[in-house]
Every structure is written in C-alpha cells, then in structure tokens.
C-alpha cells in the first residue's frame, strides 16, 4: 500500500510531523537577526542535550563531515593517532585520519565487542605520543555501545585529545561531554535527533582549541577557526541548511519537553523489548547485554537462512525496512533501529512482522512468542 511504510534503519530515521511542519516554514535569510536568534536558541538547547558548555557548531553536511572536521582540525601529517575500532564506523574514523596523513594505530576489538578499557590503558601507558584518540559512542554496524566515560577517564590524563563519533548515539544514549572530558564530540541530524539528513554537530573543548588553532592540515569548508570567527554573532561561515535549522529547533524542543532522562529511558525500554523478543524467537544477538546499544539491535540470521531474504519479505509484504549487515556482516545479520522518533508500537509492528517473515523463509517459529516477550517488557513483567 502506498505510503504505509515503516523505516527501521539506523539513519535516516522517521521524522515527526511537528518537525516536518517546522521545516516547511517560509525561508529566512541566513544573515538576518531571525536566523541569529534561531541559531543561538539551537545551540542553547544542544548544550542541554550534549551536556556541555563547550562551543557547539552546527554544520551543513552529513555526519562524516563532522568526523572529517574533527580530524582536519586536529591532525597533521605524521601525527600519531590511536583508533579504537569496534566496527565499520570506527574503521571509517581511522580511515579519515589516514587520509590526513596520520600514523594510525588501529586497535580492532572485533565486531560485536566493545572497547576493552584495559587495552586502552596499556596502549596509552606504552606510548605517550598519541595526539588524538578516536572512539565511537554507539557502533551502528554492530549495535554496540562503548564506555565513553571510561575511555575519557584514561585519555584525559594524557595530552591526547579524545574525539568521539556520537553520530548514532546522541539523542538515544546519554553522553556527559564535559563531566567525562570529551574534547570533540561529533553527531548528525538523521539518527536519534529525529531530523532528515543534512546537518552535523561538533563540540570543541578548550583543550581541543589549543590544538585546532595550531593545526596545519588543509581545511576550508571544514575549518573550525572559520566557524569560530562568526560564532559570537550567531552567524555561520557559509550558507547553512536554514530549513534544517528550523527543524532542529523543533526536534530539540520535543526532546527537552519529553525530558532527556525520559528520552533515554524510552530507548532503553525499546532495546530491552526488542532483545527479549529476539531471544524468545530463538535468535542470537550480536552483542552481549552488557554492551548492547539502546539505539538499535543487531540480530544474527538463523543458521542457513540469509538475513537479506528475511529483509526482502519484510520490505515487500509488510512495508518494513530493517538494515542489513555492513562489511563482513553482510547477509549474516539484520539490524532493527529503535532510535529517535520510535516508540513501543513500532517495536510491536517490527516483531510481529519479523515472526511472519521468519515463518515464510522456513524458520520454525511459534507465532506470537516474540510479540508476547516484548509485551511483557512493556507491561513491566520482566525484571
Ligand atoms: C551514520 C553514521 C555515520 C555517518 O554519517 P553520515 O551522515 O552517513 O555521513 C558515522 N558514524 C556513525 C556511528 C554513524 O552511525
């Protein structure tokens, strides 16, 4: 049926009608007082969501643009970089550093695992020459949440800067930027922030500014000093995505009205129900409960059944889109996103359709077992 679609991938995610309406307002000039006011308002709200008093820049580009901004402004050719990798996006962050000529020490913790703090401690003790450390808050390719507080506690004792990719975690999983001591945090609009793709956000600490201002790598569109030059007037260096700014203001209002604690609790509940349902159906989860993401759940396809065959049935017959596996997990897992504009009944729809699709591809499933497990979580019947 036309328009009856359920987008359950980790970005882009569904956008609330209120946000769509805000984005449909008449355009305003980006050098106007109205825009300056909007910009200031957004940064004020982002400070609450990101728990920081650092400078916050809203950039007009996708999430990778904020990662490149972080690298271009802190890494010179030959600099030593420690990359903590737990999947595809950790690899991407490392690859950007390599593109800027860094000597990247890549530590791969394995897809499905989180960062082992002991290894980080050893690495930092063995070599005091790292200029930056790269970490991923929520590894979207595997549904793993990393312990950024723990990593930051180790890195902040060294001269190195901690750069965090929070593209899919911010808005779903709490991030205490200042309390933990994260120097640069990157995120983007189209994941848990409930907006279409098009904006990214980056925060810059005092410690980071000292490095940024001295950096020699080529930078123009991604120059933080250029953004900073006009920041005090609530201007942007180049034309911003004005409609997206209008949408971001509305999306942040929605999140703050719900209350950030409630937003995080909702994500935790959705993750818990999804995991309980998958387990009840006899499916294996990629990540252990201990480091499971609250933003999305990665599920192994049953033995002998291609994950993409399940996804095809879901898409064609039920209008539901789950994400597939990336890189080495292609065809082996499917990923159910429950981030941003997502609530209990989205999970019920996803799980009931999953049960039917599993039955259709030949997996023996007792219909209703996954649905029941999720319902019991929502009714508070599970510890
Ligand atoms: C989506 C995502 C990105 C990439 O963002 P784009 O907007 O596609 O450039 C980077 N890191 C993580 C963790 C992501 O989930």
| CATH code of the domain covering residue 349 | 3.90.1150.10
Q: What pLDDT does 382 receive?
A: 84
The last residue of one of the domains, among 229, 257, 285, is: 257
Residue 336 is classified by DSSP as E
Q: What pLDDT does 2 receive?
A: 87
192 ligand 1 Cβ < 6 A: no
Q: Is residue 349 part of a domain?
A: yes
Handedness of CA 324, 65, 165, 14 (dihedral sign): negative
- Domain range for 322 is 260-378
The last residue of one of the domains, among 203, 234, 257, is: 257
64 ligand 1 Cβ < 6 A: yes
Residues 153, 182 within the same domain: yes
Q: What pLDDT does 334 receive?
A: 98
The pair of three-digit structure tokens given for residue 180, joined into one six-digit string: 């933990």
Residues 300, 153 within the same domain: no
Q: What pLDDT does 383 receive?
A: 78
Residues 205, 352 within the same domain: no
Q: Is residue 290 a known part of a binding site?
A: no
Q: Is residue 66 part of a domain?
A: yes
Q: What is the CATH number of the domain that holds 63?
A: 3.40.640.10
Q: Is residue 303 part of a domain?
A: yes
Residues 252, 276 within the same domain: no
In whole angstroms, what is the distance from residue 229 CA to residue 235 CA? 9
- Residue 82's φ and ψ, nearest 5 degrees, are -105, 115
The last residue of one of the domains, among 257, 281, 308, is: 257
Q: Whose CA is nearest to atom 6 of ligand 1?
A: 63
Q: Is residue 11 part of a domain?
A: no
Atom of ligand 1 nearest to the CA of 141: 15
Residues 164, 105 within the same domain: yes
In whole angstroms, what is the distance from residue 101 CA to residue 96 CA? 9
Which helix or strand (DSSP H or E) is residue 87 part of? none
Residues 331, 356 within the same domain: yes
Q: Is residue 8 part of a domain?
A: no
Q: What pLDDT does 104 receive?
A: 98
Question: How many domains in the chain?
Answer: 2
Residues 227, 372 within the same domain: no
Handedness of CA 276, 278, 283, 288 (dihedral sign): negative
What is the mean pLDDT, run by run of 10 residues, along the chain of 383 residues? 94 98 98 98 98 98 98 98 98 98 98 97 96 98 98 98 98 98 98 98 98 96 98 97 98 98 98 98 97 98 97 98 95 98 98 98 97 98 85
Give the Å distance between the CA of 120 and the centre of ligand 1: 23
Give the Å distance between the CA of 138 and the centre of ligand 1: 10
Q: What pLDDT does 198 receive?
A: 98
Q: Is residue 1 part of a domain?
A: no
């Amino acid at each position: 049926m036309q328009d009856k679609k359920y987008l359950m991938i980790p970005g882009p995610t569904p956008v609330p009608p209120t946000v769509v309406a805000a984005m449909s307002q008449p355009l305003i000039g980006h050098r106007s007082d109205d825009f300056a006011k909007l910009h200031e308002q957004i940064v004020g709200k982002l400070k609450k969501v990101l728990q920081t008093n650092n400078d916050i820049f809203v950039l007009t580009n996708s999430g990778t643009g904020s990662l490149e901004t972080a690298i271009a402004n802190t890494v010179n050719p030959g600099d030593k970089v420690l990359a903590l990798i737990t999947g595809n996006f950790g690899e991407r962050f490392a690859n950007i550093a390599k593109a800027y000529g860094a000597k990247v020490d890549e530590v791969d913790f394995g897809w499905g695992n989180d960062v082992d703090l002991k290894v980080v401690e050893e690495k930092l003790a063995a070599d005091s020459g790292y200029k930056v450390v790269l970490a991923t808050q929520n590894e979207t390719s595997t549904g793993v949440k990393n312990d950024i507080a723990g990593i930051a506690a180790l890195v902040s004792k060294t001269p190195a800067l901690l750069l965090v990719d929070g593209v899919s975690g911010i808005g779903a999983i709490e991030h205490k930027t200042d309390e933990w001591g994260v120097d640069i945090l990157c995120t983007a609009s189209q994941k848990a922030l409930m907006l279409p793709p098009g904006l990214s956000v980056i925060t810059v600490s005092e410690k980071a500014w000292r490095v940024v201002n001295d950096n020699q790598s080529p930078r123009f569109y991604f120059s933080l000093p250029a953004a900073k030059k006009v920041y005090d007037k609530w201007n942007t260096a180049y034309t911003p995505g004005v409609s997206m700014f209008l949408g971001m203001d509305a999306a942040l209002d929605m999140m703050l009205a719900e209350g950030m604690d409630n937003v995080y609790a909702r994500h935790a509940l959705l993750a818990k129900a999804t995991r309980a349902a998958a387990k009840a159906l006899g499916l294996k989860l990629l990540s252990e409960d201990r480091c499971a993401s609250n933003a999305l759940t990665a599920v192994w396809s049953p033995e002998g059944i291609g994950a993409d065959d399940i996804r095809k049935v879901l898409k064609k017959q039920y209008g539901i889109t789950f994400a597939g596996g990336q890189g080495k997990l292609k065809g082996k897992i499917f990923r159910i996103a429950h981030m941003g504009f997502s609530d209990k009944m989205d999970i019920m729809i996803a799980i009931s359709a999953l049960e039917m699709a599993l039955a259709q591809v030949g997996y023996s499933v007792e219909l209703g077992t996954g649905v029941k497990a999720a319902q019991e979580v929502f009714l508070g019947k599970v510890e």
